[in-house]
């Protein structure tokens, strides 16, 4: 990529896309193209086609996706497969049609089988069954990476797929039901800490900045009404926080800015031909992006609580699903190609909470 190349970042307002956008700007790329969902609905093929014909991007980062945590994945199964397949079909297809020089497709490590050997290596793909709770999303992402791989083989495109581990960072989704585990914990413990200290101004500020459907107006709702909803609906109390699952699953987390640096590194330095060297039957050409380090959900909860300053009880509801018990990536393939992570989780959680509090202060 040249510094003035026309670069389209699909999903540039989300956690992943915004981090990539900032990384590109920091490296001096000046011709970035972004559209909000209101400006361009990626599920609308006619709109996507018109956009590509008008803008003619040379490079594409496909970071747009319909995403969520374990509850959202398990309950919105149709949405997760339908919406993601549509987004991918339209963006990857139009990139091929107009001759985009290079595309980076971002997937997820949920593509790997539930019982795959740990740590997860790229060759584990499609070796056995997927984890049931996120199967529709995983199938959509597998279809996307196979589309990229197949277009490369048939049409000579240069479309590369990367599979980041669990991400967290600035601009994360902190929805109490539909977010991923780490941002959900940050918000739960933040609200519980405020309840613990009777800081109703903070609670109302939080619920005004990120409203919940059960409270129409956080500024006028009574303290009793708010505390009842937070407790009964979300398991957030002054003296305890209830979390889904047993707390035993192990998870890996990657700071979103590190992920963005990895993506830019791939686009600048790695081609499809670099990933197929020595293969007689080309497959598993995607790249893991991760740290290769893991933590239990229970340990993570205590780290977040300590960061926030919450001193109440942490309760785990083992009647709720755990998801995959372990999901650790092996990032050695990408490491060998020149990228390594820089931010450890013990540094990243305080950075995330600092961002969250700053975002509330600005609202």
pLDDT of residue 70: 73
**Cα 53 to Cα 40: distance, rounded to the nearest angstrom:** 13
Of the listed 8, 137, 353, 356, which one is catalytic? 137
Active site residue 137: yes
The per-residue pLDDT for range 157-211, each reduced to its tens digit, is 999 999 999 999 999 999 998 788 999 999 999 999 999 999 999 999 999 999 9
DSSP state of 38: T
**Cα 197 to Cα 188: distance, rounded to the nearest angstrom:** 14
pLDDT of residue 271: 97
- Judged on CB neighbours under 10 Å (0-12, 13-18, 19+), 199 is middle
Q: Are strands 295-296 and 250-251 parallel, antiparallel or unpaired?
A: antiparallel
Q: Are strands 240-244 and 313-317 parallel, antiparallel or unpaired?
A: parallel
Residue 65's nearest CA partner among 22, 12, 109 is: 12
Q: Give yes or no for a cis peptide into 350 (omega within 30° of 0).
A: no
pLDDT of residue 355: 97
Q: Collect the ranges in the chain with pLDDT lower than 50.
A: none
Q: Are 226 and 207 in contact (CB under 8 A)?
A: yes
SS3 for 244?
Answer: strand
- Ordered by where they begin, the domains of the chain are 7-171+252-293+325-344 (3.40.50.720), 181-248+296-323+353-362 (no CATH)
Residue 169's nearest CA partner among 309, 277, 270, 23 is: 23
pLDDT of residue 309: 97
Q: Output the pTM of the full model.
A: 0.91
Q: Are strands 7-10 and 59-62 parallel, antiparallel or unpaired?
A: parallel
Strands (E), the chain: 7-10, 32-33, 59-62, 102-106, 159-164, 166-168, 240-244, 250-251, 253-255, 287-289, 295-296, 313-317, 326-327
């Amino acid at each position: 990529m040249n510094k003035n190349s026309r670069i389209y970042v699909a999903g540039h307002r989300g956690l992943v896309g915004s981090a990539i956008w900032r990384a590109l700007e920091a490296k001096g790329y000046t011709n970035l193209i972004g559209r909000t969902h209101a400006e361009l609905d990626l599920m609308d093929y006619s709109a996507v086609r018109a956009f590509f014909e008008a803008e003619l991007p040379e490079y594409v980062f496909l970071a747009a996706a319909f995403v969520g945590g374990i509850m959202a994945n398990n309950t919105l199964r149709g949405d997760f497969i339908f919406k993601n397949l549509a987004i991918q079909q339209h963006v990857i297809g139009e990139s091929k049609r107009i001759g985009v020089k290079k595309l980076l497709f971002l997937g997820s490590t949920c593509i790997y089988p539930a019982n795959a050997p740990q740590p997860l290596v790229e060759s584990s793909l499609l070796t056995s069954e997927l984890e049931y709770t996120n199967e529709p999303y995983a199938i959509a992402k597998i279809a996307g990476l196979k589309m990229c791989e197949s277009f490369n083989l048939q049409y000579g495109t240069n479309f590369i797929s990367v599979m980041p581990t669990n991400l967290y960072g600035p601009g994360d989704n902190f929805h109490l039901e539909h977010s991923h585990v780490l941002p959900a914990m940050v918000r739960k413990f933040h609200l519980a800490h405020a309840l613990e200290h009777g800081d109703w101004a903070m609670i109302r500020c939080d619920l005004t900045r990120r409203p919940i459907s059960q409270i129409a107006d956080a500024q006028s709702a009574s303290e009793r009404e708010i505390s009842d909803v937070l407790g009964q609906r979300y398991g957030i109390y002054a003296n305890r926080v209830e979390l889904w699952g047993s707390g035993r699953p192990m998870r890996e987390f990657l700071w979103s800015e590190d992920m963005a640096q990895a993506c830019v590194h791939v686009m600048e330095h790695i081609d499809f031909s670099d990933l197929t060297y020595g293969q007689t039957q080309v497959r598993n050409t995607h790249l893991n992006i991760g740290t290769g380090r893991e933590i239990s959900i229970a340990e993570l909860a205590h780290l977040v609580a300590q960061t926030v300053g919450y001193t109440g009880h942490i309760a785990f509801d083992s009647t709720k699903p755990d998801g995959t018990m372990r999901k650790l990536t092996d990032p050695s393939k990408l490491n060998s190609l020149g990228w390594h992570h820089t931010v450890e989780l013990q540094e990243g959680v305080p950075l995330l909470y600092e961002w969250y509090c700053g975002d509330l202060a600005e609202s």
